[in-house]
Amino acid sequence: MHGNGILRKGALGLLLLCLFFRLAAQGRIRVSGYVHDADGNPVELVLVQVKKSLEGAMTNEKGFYSLKASPGDSLTLVFSCLGYNKAERIIPHAKGDLRLNVQMNPASFDLGGVSVTASRRQISTMQHIQADQIKLLPDPAGGSIESLVVTYAGVSSNNELSSQYSVRGGSYDENLIYVNGLEVFRPLLVRSGQQEGLSFVNPELTQSVNFSAGGFEARYGDKMSSVLDITYKKPKALEGSVAASLLGLNAYVGSASGKFTQVTGIRYKTTRSLLGTMQTQADYQPVFMDLQTYMTYRLAPHWEADFLGNLASNNYRFIPHTRSTSFGTGDNVTNFTVYFDGQEKDRFQTQFGALTLKYTPDANKEFGFSASAFNSLESESYDISGDYFINDEETSDGISPLTLGNYMEHARDRLHAVVANVGHYGMLRLKANKLQWGATAQMERIADRTAEWEMRDSAGYSLPHTADALHVFSNLYAEDRVNSLRLSGYLQDAFKFRTPQGLFTLIGGLRGSYWNYNDEFIFSPRASLGFIPNRNQNFTFRLAGGLYYQPPFYKELRQISTDAEGNRSVHLNKGLKSQRSAQIILGGDYAFKLMDRNFKFTAELYYKKLDRLNPYTVDNVQLNYYGENCAKGYAAGLDMKFFGEFVQGTDSWISLSLMKGQQTIRGVTKAPLPNNPGYNFSLFFQDYFPGYRRLSMNLRMMLSGRLPVTPPYQGYEGGYFHTTPYRRVDIGLSYRLAGRGDALMQRPLFEHLKNIWLGIDAFNLFDIQNANSYTWINDVQGHPYAIPNYLTGRQLNFRILVEF
């Protein structure tokens, strides 16, 4: 009986406890709603809290939140998110469930048309880049998204004339570039930055830029280093700009009319004045042009058709006259003087077109079909001879027999490439999951003809010198064709869940592809995990990894063989397999305020185990592959970036990367990875004159370590040495001559204009001599000597920008 009494008392207590919680729950109200930005886009990861309490929630991908709170005479909700101004809403007489929608405004500062916005929260390896910072950037490439990318942690470049870059020790060919979800391609024959011309991406047409230095999602293609994801604008009204400088001219116009939007840009670039600062005195005639358009048309309430088109013509003519270069160190300074004859004429013509059809039944579903084609006609021709002599700087008479010679180079190279593909993609949101999938079939047709030879003569002896025959120093012949089909597909899921510890974002996916040319299947699993702790939401942590492949394209297939007489020819290695990289990345961010300014520190550790490598050597921007899977290696490092308002109202950052990359070729030769500088430091800094914000300053500084260089035609087995570090500072001053609200803009001729900017740039401010390639000569015994080819020197550039 006594036991039964205890049980009855326990049951009664449990009943009262349940009744208490039920009454407490019934006494609470639910507040829910959506959070959008000024453009109506949902804002994710907004913390919604009841003021002076621990009650709160976070918005999901659609900007939706829901929380419970105690009723009262009034209820104050605080909305906060990194990159946006904090918002408070007071709800009077909060007695029942209600819906509250809120607009968040960016924590930005308008510096005369340059919008400076606090950094976004990064829960994956993909980071956002402010595209509008390009317009006032002092860029010797003439204005490109890539010129800003190279200032990010993990990214390095050692050629201001080129838009190509290396990421965490990888090659230029290991970087993916997407525009509106479509992969874009570049010409294949380009061997120097002088020839390269315009980057595909037009920054004036760009709406958003996202970049990942590794550990990217399965929806992106098969490359081992990075992905640059560009989205073009959909204008809501008439807009545009015209810009001119000593480097060329560009203009764009965007408009919207009912169901139709378009943005179209034309660019003309000439680097003639910049090339004139190089040590080779020559008649430089670079003419680069392109026309690009992006159009959208709303076919029906849920259907849209998009078109992206590009026509590019890059022409380069080079007539050298003389060159004088001093090289060496200390007391051993040597002069190299050449008198040239002949010329080089190159032409790269590309066309790209893509049509996409989208079906969006609601905000949780999207389906698309796309078709695109890329066509490239490339030709490279040169006949250049040079008579040279070398003497010590102190020598005024007498020249040793080893220092007289001449050479002649000849090439007739032609390449025609066609890449066409069709694809499907889809997206489906299911509660906390976001499913994405896609499939692509790609046809590749390439025809290549190469005919090159080089003659060298030292002290009257043709090299290589034999008693009974006359030989050229080197030659190369190829006539190859590739017709192939690639199939690829992916499936990935992004899942978000909350625990008492914080918010987790898990993204996992699988990518697979098949290429019929080498009969290879590859499967690439990839995953990432992001975490925002409730304890301190200024911290963000992420872990990513996966198995990444680099399927060979045409350049990688080329394998050079030498016959008994020394003639070199190219054949394609059909047995070449994809290079492979197993990667793991651990990183995090810490956002904080200092002196009422926004700052963020980011750090990422990475390790890449590399196998089935196809080694290559680098000459300027040309990669010469071995054409076989004969190496393995690794790359490891630490990337750090300090971002924030160094000057109030401006965005600036400092990036520092420490890395080491090593490869072992054929199990014997150990050498550094070709694009492993050891360290890379970069600075992007903005400032304005106190009390006079019309006058602003942009500075870009880069310092990169030494890269390995090999003698021509020998590879790393023939030994290597290192270049000097790459050091460069570019600075620009911009003056806003007129802007909205100025009296000038009220006049009839100027009333439709937004801003007028005048600027002056100093490229290579300290006139530092940087070399990224070498001219090789030989003495009678065949011993090679490397003469550095220095890049551009100091140059002033004047520019004007008119926005409307």
Q: Does residue 133 register a pLDDT over 80?
A: no
Find the Cα–Cα–Cα–Cα dihedral 297, 298, 302, 303, rounded to 10°. Answer: -40
Among 51-65, 292-306, 787-801, the minimum mean pLDDT is found in 51-65
State both tokens at 189.
């024959």
Question: How much of the chain exceeds pLDDT 70, in percent?
Answer: 89
Contact call for residues 422 and 461 (beta carbons, < 8 A): no
Mean pLDDT, rounded, of the chain: 85
The pLDDT-based confidence of 109 (bands split at 50, 70, 90) is very low
Q: Which tokens sit at 366?
A: 């999207």
Question: Does 803 or 506 have the greater pLDDT score?
Answer: 506
H or E stretch at 555? helix 554-557
Tokens of 138: 């002092």
pLDDT in tens, 27-56: 678 888 899 887 677 888 788 888 877 677
Give me 767's structure tokens: 């006139």
Q: How far is CA 126 from the centre of its chain?
A: 11
Task: Give percent of the chain above pLDDT 90.
Answer: 50
SS3 track for 537-606? CCEEEEEEEEEEEECCCHHHHEEEEECCCCCEEEEECCCCCCEEEEEEEEEEEEEEEECCEEEEEEEEEE
Tell me the per-residue pLDDT of 223-254, one tens digit each, with 9 for 90 and over: 999 999 999 999 988 999 999 999 999 999 99
Categorize the per-residue pLDDT at 470 as very low, low, confident or very high, splitting at 50, 70 and 90. Answer: low
> How many whole angstroms separate alpha carbon 57 and alpha carbon 68?
9
Instruction: Give the residue among 553, 571, 565 at the shortest CA–CA distance from 450.
Output: 571
pLDDT of residue 117: 45
Output the pLDDT for position 9.
Answer: 47
Length of the chain: 804
Whether omega for the bond prior to residue 71 falls within 30 degrees of 0, making it cis, is no
Distance CA 547, CA 460 (A): 55
3-state SS, residue 782: coil
* Confidence check: pLDDT of 353 > 70: yes
What letter does residue 278 receive in the DSSP assignment?
A: S
Query: pLDDT per residue over 591-625, tens digit each?
Result: 888 887 888 999 999 999 999 999 999 887 788 89
pLDDT digits (tens, 9 = 90+) for 400-416: 444 678 889 999 999 99
